[in-house]
Copies of this chain bind each other. A is one copy, B any other.
Amino acid sequence: MTASPPELRSALHEQFARIGKAVASPRRIELLELLCQGERSVDALARATGMTVTNVSQHLQALSAARLVARRRDGTRIYYRAADEQVCTFVTELGAVARTRLPEVERLAAEYIDGSDQLEPLTRAELLRRLRRGYTIVVDVRPTEEYKSAHIKGAASIPLDELARHLHELPRTKLIVAYCRGPYCVLAPQALALLRARGFRARRLEDGLPEWRAAGLPIAAGS
């Protein structure tokens, strides 16, 4: 007699699912985690995640529709932040559930941490062999100027600080070999960290460009 309310009840779950849908995308989860660390502008988020600005903006609209984020305007840019502390505990809780329920999460974490054999640099001879066979691309992560003056023949120029933006151009099927100035240059290792975190297969070339040139191997110049 009284409205036992299937429509009301499902209406509630409909609302719950709005929150669920908001965290149904890896990109949005990534954004939320960043926003839980502090407010950021749209393009700062784009740079940090390697997504296009348009895409970030759209995801932020989605998060905003679920009221999970708030925003503040400052001049021409708009800063987003997590709506409150509870949404941050919620996403960490989400991660915790994933950790305990999905065995591959632990596996991925472990793999990333002690992938020491993968951290072993590739020798120049090995790289040449792989290049002849294909399935391997070489990336120069030094600043553009250095690339222009000289680089390994066939290498692409993706400076470290632009790497995040160009991830979508990189193939997941091939091995990515990064190099920079020499054995003590930190650019390449940092690039590897980023690439591996995103699930790419990446190795470092032993030493750097000077040693490559010294070995008499093919180089090129210009852009």
Contact = CB atoms under 8 A, between A and B. Distances in A.
Contacts of A164: 2, 4
Nearest to A89: B93
Chain A interface, >50% SS class = helix
A194 B11 CA distance: 11
B115 A190 contact: no
Contact of A112 (B12, B18, B24, B133): B12
The complex is assembled from copies of this chain, and their number is 2
Contacts of A12: 95, 98, 105, 108-109, 112
A3 B116 contact: yes
B97 A87 contact: yes
B1 A13 contact: no
Interface stretch (A73-81, A122-130, A145-153, A214-222): A122-130
A111 B12 CA distance: 11
